[in-house]
Amino acid sequence: MDIRTLEEMPISERKAYALKKVKGLQDKLNASITIIEDDEVKADGKLMGIPVALKDNISTKGIKTTAASDILDNYVPVYDATIVKKLKEAGAIFVSKTSMDELAMGGTNRTANIGPCHNPYDLDRITGGSSGGSAALVAAGAVPLAIGSDTGDSVRKPAAYCGIVGVKPSYGRISRYGIIPYASSLDHVGYFTTNVEDAALALEVLAGRDDLDMTSSYEEVLEYSKLLDANVKGRRLAIFGNVYDAISDSSIKEAFDKIIVSLEDKGAIIKKVYFDGDLMKCLFPTYFIIANAEATANHSNLDGVRFGHRIDGDSMEDVMMATRTRGFSSFIKKRFVIGSYSLFEENQERLLKKAQRVRRLIVEAVLNELKEVDALLAPASGSIAPRLDDPSSDELSDEYLIAENHMVIGNFGGLPSMTLPMGFKDDLPIGINITCNAFKEEEMFDIALAIEDITGLKGHVKEVL
């Protein structure tokens, strides 16, 4: 499903069509936490009557917003996130609050309190996370647009595993007001579509300065969908050599190589670049330290006192202890322990501050290369979506540390980055990632459109039987 095709359907039928799909898929995909029945078109805009799904960490006035955590499973916000207001003003209608890793802290969508989300291409495989529910509904053709959030690769990795387009724009391009945070210096609002044109249109609606979010940008928002140009002649594109070399699956490399050859045939100037190997091996540990430290601080308000679930006790300390003990999964507790340890005054210099310095070195190295090229290209992942019952991976291997975590660079530097379908292996999707200079979304979409023309996968969805 895509926005243009859906526009051919009478507005009165679009909501019913999407709801039927969302409901019919729930037993198979487990992609929705709350299904929204009573929303209706309230405005005439670029997304008039278009059904949209929202990740369940996005505040919706009067609609439960749980972030897939027991501690928030009774939380109903009294206000809308800025992006919810923007979507309403554009005429969108909401049909689902989607599954996610608990508090967005994960990369598999196995940890939602309603159970794991299932990949439309193989129900025994993960969607990726933390925005897996949104990815699944777009990939299965239930909605043409779904919103997620991306702290490390939480939109772009599910897009790769589910065979759709996933966009994380520049830091500050889309307001985060009303988004339950994970790590404030890394969090971005992102989204999923089935094609590049819809992705460009969605950014027109979602982007812009918001005084309620001091980190949002004053940069001009262009009419990206009208500026699309698949001509890459003279474009300077760099293959991310560290990622390419770390991948062991030759079929994924072959699919990537075919796209690179086609881009060269279209006139693109291609080179392969390498960054310091030790820095690249630090991507995941740097992210893990910073993200968990910021998450621990951000979620200190989930205490059973201010909002969300409360377990009664004889004192405020008893209430907080009991609520947090029952309200968080063991997975989240582990991350809070790690985050708290990094925040201890005696540990900050050797852990948190060191990680922040390494982050700066990584960003400086990438920005220095992006002075010479228009984009970095790499396979989004070194594998197809893993099976739900096989979480094992060698977390000390280059394949894990580099090939599976390279997209965090876009979060470290606030750079626009997107994944789109590259092809298939064993009938399962594989994706290609594009990363550009800050606020160069127009260039990113143009390169993506050229790749989409090469693959012929525009609008592809998977019918779930």
Verify whether residue 397 is a known catalytic residue.
Answer: no
Q: Is 55 marked active-site?
A: yes
Please pick, among 15, 55, 97, 168, the residue that the annotation labels catalytic: 55
For the purposes of burial, counting CB atoms within 10 Å of the CB of 234, is it exposed (0-12), middle (13-18) or buried (19 or more)? exposed
Would you state the structure tokens that stand for residue 92, as one six-digit string?
């969108």
Distance of CA 40 to the CA centre of its chain: 26
Helix axes 250-265, 441-455, angle to 10 degrees: 110
Distance CA(353)–CA(271), nearest Å, equals: 34
Residues 60 and 94 sit within 8 Å (Cβ to Cβ): yes
Write down the catalytic residue from 59, 154, 170, 175: 154
Residue 128 · residue 158 · CB < 8 Å: yes
Q: Is 154 a catalytic residue?
A: yes
- Cβ within 8 Å of residue 332, ≥6 positions away: 69, 102, 103, 105, 111
Q: Is 170 in contact with 217 (CB distance < 8 Å)?
A: yes
Catalytic residue among 32, 96, 130, 216: 130
Q: Catalytic site residues?
A: 55, 130, 154
